[in-house]
Every structure is written in C-alpha cells, then in structure tokens.
Structure 1
Amino acid sequence: MGSSRSKPAAMPHDGSAHFYKLKEDITCSICLHELKDPVSITCGHTFCKPCISSYWDALQPFGHRCPECRKVCPKDQLIPAYRLQQLVCNVQLAVKEEQSKQVPAHAVQLVHTDASCRMWLDESAVDRCFLDSEISDYPLCLICVIGEKRRGKSSLLNYILRALHSLETGQPVSLGEDEEPLKGFDWRSGTDSLTKGIWLWSRPFILEKNGEKMAVFVLDTEGSMDIESDRETCIKLSALSMLLSSYLVCDFHLKTTELDYLEMYLYVSELTGESFSLQYLQHLNILVRDWHNPDNCGHEAAKSYIEHETERMRKNATYRRVLQTLRSPSVSAFLLPHPGKAFLRSSQGKLTDMDDDFRSHLTTYVSDLVGGLWLYRKTDVHGERITCGHLGRMLKDFVGTLQRENFSFDSPMEMFYALENDKNMKNTLKKFQDFVDTEAPITSSPLKIVRVTTSKMRIVVTEEASHLLQEFEQRLQGSEDAARQKLMDEMKTRLDQEVERFCTEYSKRFTKCAVGLGCAVGGGILSLAGGIVGAAVAGTLLATEAAILTGAVGGSLTFGAIGTGVGAGVGGVIGRKEKIKDQAMDSTCNGNGATSEDTQQLVPE
C-alpha cells in the first residue's frame, strides 16, 4: 500500500521494456490497436479481420494489396490466427499487471460536492475501478465508513486495508508490522477535516473462495454526517454511501445529534434503495470509539449497549427507523476503548503506540469484519448479486441525476422525487422506442414499409409522443411548479428529438424500398419502357399509400436488366424529388392526414 501522495515507482528493469515491445508486435498496422479477431493473409502479415476487410472493401485498382508489403493477395483467403489471439489476451493481462506495479494503489477522490452543493463524480475512476473488463463481472463487497469528522475513520480504514492485503495474498489476517508507519487514506491527528466527499481505494482487493472471486472496495467519507455541513450535502452523501456500501460502518455514539442524522440516513437509504432496486441496508455496523470502560468492550458489551439504548428510544417516537433497524439481524455493534495518548500524539500510527487493550480489540474487530465479507456481497432487492460493472453504471446514473437537478433538496423526499422523475423519464423514452420498433421493425419487408408514407408515419409517432408526454406529466412527483415545468420541457425536447430521428431514418428506408421495388418492376419488362414503368412505380410508392405491385415482379433476366437500370436511375431521381416534397409537406402538416401530394401518380410523360 502507498499513500495518496506517493510518486509512481520506476519501471522495473528490462521486463517492462520486453512487455511493451511485445505489445507493439501484436498491434494491427491499420487501426494501431491490439489485434482483435486476428487473421493472416497469404503474404504472412496479420491484421484485425474487420480492419483488413474494410481496407479491401475500398476501391483497389491494382488488386487487393497487403497494407504493409503491398503484395497482391486473394481477398477471400483470410486465415484465423487463434494462437495469436490467445497471445494477445495474455500480453494484455501481463501489461496490465506491469502498469499496476508502476503506480502503487492509492486513495482517489471519487465524489466531491462544491460550495453550491452540486455533486461531482470522477467518471474516469469509475471506469478504472468498476468497469474494467477484467473485474466488471465480479460480484463485489463495499466497505464504507461514515461518521463525524476527525474521529479516526481514515486510520481505521487503513488497518482494514492491511488486513485485506494479507487475505488477498493468502496470509493470515494482520494489521501490519509493529513499527510500520500507517499509510493509505490520508490521515493525521487534529480537528481539521481532510476527506471532503467520498474517497475510494484505487484498486479493489480480489478475494477467492471455493473457486469464486469477489472484488472488495474500501471507501472513506466526510460530510455525510458532519454537523458543520449543510443538510443538502448530508442528504446527498448519505444516499450515495448507501448506494455504494454493502457493509456500512457508522462510527459514533448513539447520542441525540448522531441519532438525528442516523434517522435521516436510514430514511434516505430506504428511498434510495427503492429508486435503484437495491437491498435496503445490507449490513450496518455501529462502532463506538473511545468507550469509557476498557474492561467492558467488544461485541458482547456492544449488544448490552444497544439494548440499553433501544429501550431508551422506545419512549421517543422521533427515532422510529433507528429503533426498528437496531433490532434487526442486519445490524452489529462493537465497543472500542481509547487508543491511548501516545497514539494520539503520534503522526505515524504505529501499532506500538497503541495501548494494549485497544490494539487487542482493534485486531478482533478488523479480523471479524474482513473474515465475514463473503456474507455481504452487494445484492438487489431480489437477493441477486450485483457486479462491479452494474454498480459502476448505477453510480453514474445516480450522480448524473443529481447533477441535472438544479433545485435544492431540503428533505430526503425531494431527492427521492428527483430520482423517481429521472426513472420516469428513462421509462418514457423506452416506451417510445418500443412503440416505433413495433410500428416499423427493422425486419419489416419493403412491401410493409411502402404502405405507410413518411408523412403518415410522422403523424402516428407524433401522436404517440404527445400521449407519452401526458403520461409523464401525470407521473411526475414533487410539488414545486418550477421543477415540474423544467422536467416537462426537457421531456418534450427529448421526445421531439426522438421523433425527428426516427422519421429521418424511416424516410431513408421508405425511399430505398420504393426505388428498389421500382427496379424490380422495371426489370420485369423487356424493353426500355421498363425503365419508365419502374420509375413510375418508384415515384408512385413515394407519393401514395397504395401498393400497386401485384404481378409486377418477374420477367426476363436478360432484357429486363435494361429496364432495371433505367428504372433505378429515373426512380432514384424521382425518389429524391419526392422526398423533398414529403419533407416540405411534413413541416406544414397539421395532423389531419395526408395532403393531395400523397396521392399524385408520378408517371413521366
């Protein structure tokens, strides 16, 4: 482990140079990336199959030449290089390992909030840590610690990092060497906060059990339960902590201020879990630091403490969620004694600076925590395990939603409304896409396409978009008129864009089908007149809903080719002219049906 201030290590000896030279050797000279689906051509050079195919699809006046040696090679003799493909995969893994050695694992700021409470996400960190192809399909466990600032959260997590490192390397759980300075998440004694947001250890720990692998992430927070922070920051960060964590450590005493924040946190957790279909509060651990009686600490003492506090809370209806949660089996607790004055004065966090009783209890606490992580793999509301990639995408959605929301969240419910409205918007767009896929499937035959002109299709999809917009408005949550109107404007804009995108694509499909069928008709007539008839068919199909194709396809393949060519040429010209007319009509269409241009017969005179 290294601290966030560590400099990258030097590249070790000649090994890395050989790796990178080998990486150059497995690079496609066309796309300049690692070979993908590699194939060899007859001259012996190797390229990505899509690259060489596209390269040779272009006009080759002197035959299909090798991009490297320029030798003419048969286009249809592409020999798959299976062993080379495996070598590419092995080299990619090896290079990744070498790169990971260059920069020691360190804390990265995953999320921060600015002065206006706007939340920002380091998406590159999400891509590296959660969406990397090597681990994106792994189940995961996330350890997150929240609590008041300067209560030792970061130093606790650094000891957890040491324990996870020992597990990952197959060693017994250890908190490190006695004289080893504490490194990892930045920390120091004092009252000033360092973290500011949510920090993530840059490399997950990969644990393996019974042939199954799991990625374990460690997160440090500041501000989710900070009495000096504004309420909106607390709400956002506490909600995000729930979204991320599967093992959540609340580092505080169950006193009035902490209970107020815990009640709010649990409320936010419930609402956020509902929005993202996540299991509500997988595991909550109450860690009480600096317990006054060092002879009465640990798990059992914590149970008595929790029972005492829940009995006291029964008389206070304010903490209904806290009371219900503390009685559930998804909660554990631990009492830790004071670490000792020597440890507080130290700036290195050595184990030898701790009081013996604190060190003993800390070792028990951390060992029990990391030893039971397989029980706390991240799951959804159905108990299905969530993967690293799944969580990374949800994280982007969550922060993206809050970034688009320009209104403040004075309560957890307002944030919940924002999340639900965003979900409603995505569902509405999906409904529109499902509708157009039904109206004009990509597999539709030309005969089906030409039965509905672009102008009539535009009317159909515009009416559906209007209907969906009304449904969206009815499902909007929240009472602020300004916020509702902003969402309605955004939804209308996005639906209008989808309508325009679909109609543009449909117009291209319609024109292509009309010209193609015109060619077919023209090709079925044994004279130049076939070109005129083909053009007439193409033009008519572009202008009318009627299908006039019965008996039109067929005829001589020899003389019909003349008609096909002329029909395609003339029909294409007419098609382009008709498309311009159709677009002009669309811009003035009032939704009452097709204009007279839709029924004109365009037979050249």
Structure 2
Amino acid sequence: MFVQVAEVVGETYGLEPIQHLDLLVRDWSSSRVLRAQGGEQHLRHVRQKLEAKTPCKHPKALEALSRSSSRCYLMPFPGERITTGSEGRLRDMGENFRESLRDYVTTLVSSASQHVQTDRHGEMLTGTQLAAKIKNLSDVMKKHRSGFSSPCQMAITFHNQRVVDITRADHAVFLREMHSLSQRMVDCLKVDPSAMAEQFVEQHRSPLERCREEMKEPEETLLRALEAELTQEAETFLKTYGKRYQSHAINQRVMDRACQDHADFLREKVSRG
C-alpha cells in the first residue's frame, strides 16, 4: 500500500515515487543484532521471503526493497519511562535506545547531501519547490482525509482536485483579461455592464460543466465550493466593471464635448475669416 500511495502522489506532483527508502523499526526484539547491521539482515530476510513465492504476491514491494537506496535500521525498546507518559526527553530513554537514536540521526544527517530530490524528468528540486509540493499535498489530505480509504480512491481524489485547480486557474486568466479590457476606455465602452454580466454567466456555466465531466467521480462538495468561489469573484469584478464603465462613459462625454466645442470654435473662425 505504501508503494501504491507513493506512485499516486508521484504521478500527481511530478515526482519519482520512491527515491530513497529508509525503514526505521522501533521495539525490535526478534534478534540481538540491531542498528544498521541488524536492519540489513532483516531486509535481506524479507526479500528472500518475497522472492520464494512464485509468482511474487508483492512485486512492487520487492522492487522497492531491492534497490541500493533502500535500507533498514532496527532500534530497541525505548524504555518504560518513555512509554509511560514521558514527553520524549533524552534522559528518560533507555541507554541502548539513546545510543541507537544518536547513531541513526548522525548517519541520516551525514548522508543527506547524497539524496538530492529530483522530479520525474530528473530535474533537481530546490528546498522551496519541494516544501511547496509537501504543503499542497498536506492541504489536500486535510481537506479530503475521509476520502482516502484506498490508494485507488486517493488517486481519484487527487485527479478531481487537479481538475478543480485547472478550472480555477483558467477562470483567473479570464478575469485578468477582463480586468485588462475594463482599463482600456475604447474596449470597455464596447461592452456595457449588462452584456459583460451575460458573458460571465456563460463563462461561469461552461467551466463548471467541463469540470464535472472531467472528474472521475463527481464530488458535489468540491463543485459547490468551486461554484460559490467563481460566483463571488464574478460579483466582485462586475461591481468594479460597472464603476469603470460609468467613469469611462463620463470621460468620453467630456472628451466629446471638448471636441465639439473646439470644432464650433474652428467653424466660427472660418466663417469670420
């Protein structure tokens, strides 16, 4: 399931599903060998169990665990003081656990430079870019946590959210174009407020219908929220547009009056001439 979820997230955010897999096991008690050495033995044992079954029931898991970038680290029981209400303080940890933790963190930090994150095209990701993707993923998961009952449902949710985001972005482009038009007097006066309102009705209906069609499983909650957002943006713009149209109309009348006065003046000069 972890590999399936990684693939879904990778597809959605343009990332490789798994670049470096680090498995940390706490409370290990199946053998006396712990830390990285014990982890390597355990990982080898798990791979052997998966390979022994023909056909392999979990080929994607076997592939992920067989990569050179995958490792396992085994840690002991942290101690009774930690598990009975401690706030995670170092002094409450058992000595073996504290030493294992120090060793693990030191190794993890020292190897960080070897694990540069890249996208699906092999392009390096900056920390800011990766953080933005993580933030976006976190926001989506908070919004749809009840819809992540399976990797399949997760994929549908991500797809639907992407359709909504594209629709929202397209509407933002339309708004910018209309704002630009409204600032130019000649273009603005060609479309009166009632005609602009009709354009927005059509612009409002079309993307919502397309959004519903492109969703794998239409989510009414998402669609209603999107409709309310687009409606609010349209109402705000139309109020601004009406004021600009009125201002342009007044300015146009002033200009026309000035031109008329100037023409009358020239005619009078010519007649006296």
Alignment-derived partner of residue 486 in structure 1: 221
Alignment-derived partner of residue 22 in structure 2: 285
Q: What amino acid does structure 2 have at the position aligned with 1:421?
A: N
Q: How does 1:17-96 map to 2 (within 5 A)?
A: none
Secondary structure of the residue aligned to 2:180 is coil
Distance 2:224 2:265 in 1: 56
Residues 458, 503 of structure 1: 8 Å contact kept? yes
Query: Of 437, 446, 455, which aligns to 2:185?
Result: 446
- Change beyond 3 A, Cα 1:429–1:364: closer
Is it true that 1:513 corresponds to 2:248 in the alignment? yes
Deviation at 1:454, TM superposition (A): 1.8
Secondary structure of the residue aligned to 2:261 is coil
Distance 2:149 2:80 in 1: 40
In proportion to residue count, which structure has more strand? 1
Is it true that 1:322 corresponds to 2:57 in the alignment? no
Is it true that 1:269 corresponds to 2:2 in the alignment? no
Alignment-derived partner of residue 270 in structure 2: none
- Change beyond 3 A, Cα 1:409–1:352: closer
Q: What amino acid does structure 2 have at the position aligned with 1:424?
A: V
Alignment-derived partner of residue 140 in structure 2: 401
- Change beyond 3 A, Cα 1:451–1:325: same
Residues 351, 359 of structure 1: 8 Å contact kept? no
Q: How does 1:22-421 map to 2 (within 5 A)?
A: 264-289=1-26, 290=28, 292-294=30-32, 296-300=33-37, 302-314=39-51, 315=53, 317-336=56-75, 338=76, 344=79, 350=91, 354=95, 363-376=102-115, 379-382=118-121, 383-388=123-128, 391=131, 394-395=134-135, 397-405=136-144, 408-421=147-160
Distance 1:346 1:267 in 2: 37
- Change beyond 3 A, Cα 1:412–1:555: farther
Query: Of 429, 436, 453, which aligns to 2:168?
Result: 429
Q: Number of residues paired by the alignment? A: 256
Deviation at 1:377, TM superposition (A): 5.1
Secondary structure of the residue aligned to 1:328 is coil
Q: What amino acid does structure 2 have at the position aligned with 1:275?
A: T
Deviation at 1:371, TM superposition (A): 0.8
Residues 270, 280 of structure 1: 8 Å contact kept? yes
Is it true that 1:458 corresponds to 2:197 in the alignment? yes
Deviation at 1:335, TM superposition (A): 4.0
Q: What amino acid does structure 2 have at the position aligned with 1:493?
A: A
Residues 81, 93 of structure 2: 8 Å contact kept? no
Distance 1:280 1:417 in 2: 17
Residue by residue over 1:548-584, the C-alpha shift from the partner in whole angstroms, topping out at 9 and shown as x without a partner, is xxxx8x979xxxxxxxxxxxxxxxxxxxxxxxxxxxx
Residues 64, 70 of structure 2: 8 Å contact kept? yes
Distance 1:302 1:384 in 2: 30
Deviation at 1:524, TM superposition (A): 2.6
Distance 1:363 1:394 in 2: 27
Residue by residue over 1:296-321, the C-alpha shift from the partner in whole angstroms, topping out at 9 and shown as x without a partner, is 55545543432332131132644232
- Change beyond 3 A, Cα 1:390–1:511: farther
Residue by residue over 1:276-302, the C-alpha shift from the partner in whole angstroms, topping out at 9 and shown as x without a partner, is 3344233221234535444x5554554
Residue by residue over 1:332-359, the C-alpha shift from the partner in whole angstroms, topping out at 9 and shown as x without a partner, is 22345x46xxx7356675599635xx77
Deviation at 1:411, TM superposition (A): 1.5
Deviation at 1:518, TM superposition (A): 1.1
- Change beyond 3 A, Cα 1:333–1:399: closer
Is it true that 1:498 corresponds to 2:233 in the alignment? yes
- Change beyond 3 A, Cα 1:515–1:368: same
- Change beyond 3 A, Cα 1:466–1:363: closer
Deviation at 1:473, TM superposition (A): 0.9
Residues 35, 100 of structure 2: 8 Å contact kept? yes
TM-score (norm 1): 0.37
Deviation at 1:516, TM superposition (A): 0.9
Residue by residue over 1:394-435, the C-alpha shift from the partner in whole angstroms, topping out at 9 and shown as x without a partner, is 52x445434544854321222332233222212102112212
Distance 2:14 2:127 in 1: 14
Distance 1:352 1:412 in 2: 36
Alignment-derived partner of residue 212 in structure 2: 473
Distance 2:93 2:177 in 1: 70
Residues 204, 230 of structure 2: 8 Å contact kept? yes
Query: Structure 2, unaligned stretches of length 5 or more?
Result: 83-88, 267-273
Secondary structure of the residue aligned to 2:219 is helix
Higher relative contact order, structure no. (Cα contacts within 8 Å, ≥ 6 residues apart): 2
- Change beyond 3 A, Cα 1:403–1:307: closer
Cα RMSD between the aligned structures? Answer: 3.6
Q: What amino acid does structure 2 have at the position aligned with 1:515?
A: I
Distance 2:165 2:98 in 1: 51
Q: What amino acid does structure 2 have at the position aligned with 1:308?
A: H
Distance 1:414 1:352 in 2: 40
Deviation at 1:452, TM superposition (A): 1.6
Residue by residue over 1:93-126, the C-alpha shift from the partner in whole angstroms, topping out at 9 and shown as x without a partner, is xxxxxxxxxxxxxxxxxxxxxxxxxxxxxxxxxx
Secondary structure of the residue aligned to 1:366 is helix
TM-score (norm 2): 0.74
Query: Structure 1, unaligned stretches of length 5 or more?
Result: 1-263, 528-551, 557-605
Secondary structure of the residue aligned to 1:441 is helix
